[in-house]
């Protein structure tokens, strides 16, 4: 059985899950409650369980190449912004 291809939609859903968990942790920290309660751990466990089959079918070499290209582009953008701001 082949896993479905990793698409931008799936990555967006995983990003939304991570954002929701982050906001919940921040809210709990500010209120002084215990951070690792059952609900957060359950949601985190479900997100990881959903992501593992998708990540196993991912071509890691292509992903690493894309990430490095994006990192270089971000560094160049920051350099250009620095040059413009220091003129």
Residues 29 and 42 in one domain: yes
Residue 1, pLDDT > 50, answer: no
Residues 7 and 35 in one domain: yes
Q: Percent of the chain beyond pLDDT 70?
A: 78
Give the mean model confidence (pLDDT) for residues 62-77: 86
Distance CA 82, CA 38 (A): 45
Residues 64 and 32 in one domain: no
Task: Count the neighbouring beta carbons within 10 Å of the beta carbon of residue 63.
Answer: 12
Q: Which domain holds residue 39?
A: 1-56
Residues 50 and 64 in one domain: no
pLDDT digits (tens, 9 = 90+) for 17-35: 878 878 887 887 788 776 6
CA angle centred on 18, ends 11 and 77, rounded to 5°: 65
Residues 30 and 7 in one domain: yes
Residues 52 and 64 in one domain: no
Distance CA 14, CA 50 (A): 9
Residues 49 and 25 in one domain: yes
Predicted TM-score (pTM) above 0.85: no
């Amino acid at each position: 059985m082949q896993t479905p291809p990793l698409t931008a939609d799936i990555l967006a859903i995983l990003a939304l899950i991570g954002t929701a968990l982050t906001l919940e942790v921040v809210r709990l920290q500010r209120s002084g409650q215990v951070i690792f309660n059952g609900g957060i751990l359950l949601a985190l466990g479900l997100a990881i369980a959903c992501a593992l089959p998708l990540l196993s079918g991912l071509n890691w070499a292509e992903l690493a190449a894309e990430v490095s290209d994006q990192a270089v582009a971000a560094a160049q953008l920051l350099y250009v912004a620095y040059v413009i701001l220091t003129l």
